[in-house]
Structure 1
Amino acid sequence: MASDSRERMVRSAAYLFRERGYSGTGFRDVIAHSGAPRGSIYHHFPGGKVQLAQEAVRYAGEFLDSGIRAAMEGGDPAAAVDAFVGWWRSVLVRSEFRAGCPVVAVTVESHDEAPQLADAAAAVFARWEDTLATGLGNAGVPDDRATRLARLIVAAVEGATILCRAHRDVRPLDDVVAELKELTRDAAEDS
C-alpha cells in the first residue's frame, strides 16, 4: 500500500505539472489529487518537492519512452514520429489545451531553484532522443543523421506543443508532424 501511495503521488505530480507547472503545484495539490495520506508525502519524499519532481519527470519520461519503443517495432521511421506525437495530441485535446509536457514545465521553471531538475529533464530528453535515433537507425537511417533527426523530432514536437497551447489548436502539431514524417521517410530512403 505504501508504494501505491508513492506511485499515485508521482503520477499526480506529473499530471499537475502538465497543467499548472512546477511552481504552480504544491504538496497539498499532489496529496489532494492522488488521495494519498497527508503525512505520506514527507515520508516518501524526504528531499521535498525537488525529489518529487525528479521522480515525476522520470515517470513521464519512461511512460512516453515505452510508447515510442512499442510503436517503432514495425521498422517504419514515421511510426516513431506518430508514437511521440500521438500522446501529446490527445493530451492537448482532452485538456482543452491546458496541459503540456511535465518535463518542459519542470525544465523551464526550476533552473535557479534546483539545477538537479534540469539534469533530470535532460536525461529524459536524451532518452527520448536515443530511443528515436535507435528506431530511425533500425529503419536504415545512418547513425549520425538518426541522432540529429531524433533531436529535431523532440525539439519540434515540444515546440509545437507549446504553440498548440498558445493557439488552442492542434494545427501547429499536425503541421510539424507532417514535415517530420516526410523527413524521416526521406532519410530512410536516402540511406
Structure 2
Amino acid sequence: MSLELRRIVSHVEELRLVLGRSDEDGPLRKVAVCGIYANPFAGAGYVENLSPIVAASAEVGSELGRRAAALLEAPVQSYGKAGLVGTAGEQEHVNAAVTSVFGDAFREAVGGGRAWITSTTKMAGPGATIDVPLAFKDEIWVRSHYDAVEVSIPAGPAPDELVVIVAVSNRGRINARVGGMTLGEAQS
C-alpha cells in the first residue's frame, strides 16, 4: 500500500535579526514541507492494525525529507516532524505515519542524524496550525537548537486527510544563550 498524495504545502522562513541583533552564524533558515494524503482509515471506525500506514510512511519520509533539504539550501542541523489528522480519522492514524520507519527514511534523506526526531501530532480541521518542534540532529541536549516552525495548512486537513510534516533548519536560534551543551561540544 502507498498513501495517496493529494498535495504538498511548503513553508520557508529566513530570520536575520532578533531584537535588532544577529550573531556570527548568519541567518536562521527554517523549512517545513507538508504532504497532504488521503487517510485510508478515515470513517472506518476503530482499526486495530495500522501497519499499512507505517509501512507506507518510509516513502513519505524520503520524499518530504528530500524536498525539505533542497528548500533549505544549506546543510541540515536540526530536524523535527509532526502530523495532523482530519476529523474522520483518529490521532493514532497520523502517529502511524510518523513512527521510526518514517523517521529513519526522513533522517537519511536529509543527510543523517544520530538524535531521535522530536515530534507532535493532533486531530484538526481545515486551516489548522501546528508547531513542529526542532532539535539538533546529532545530540538532543544542544539547547541552542530547541526551536519550532509554525505551520498552517490552507483548507486542510479535510476530514479524510492526513497531513505529514517534516521540518529542518540550518542552525540554532539567533543569539541563543541559555547554556547547556554547545554545538561544538556535541560535534567533538
TM-score of Structure 1 vs Structure 2, range by shorter chain = 0.3 to 0.5
More helix by share: 1
TM-score, normalisation: structure 2: 0.36
Asked which structure has the greater RCO (Cα within 8 Å, sep 6+), the reply is 2
Name the larger-Rg structure: 1
More strand by share: 2
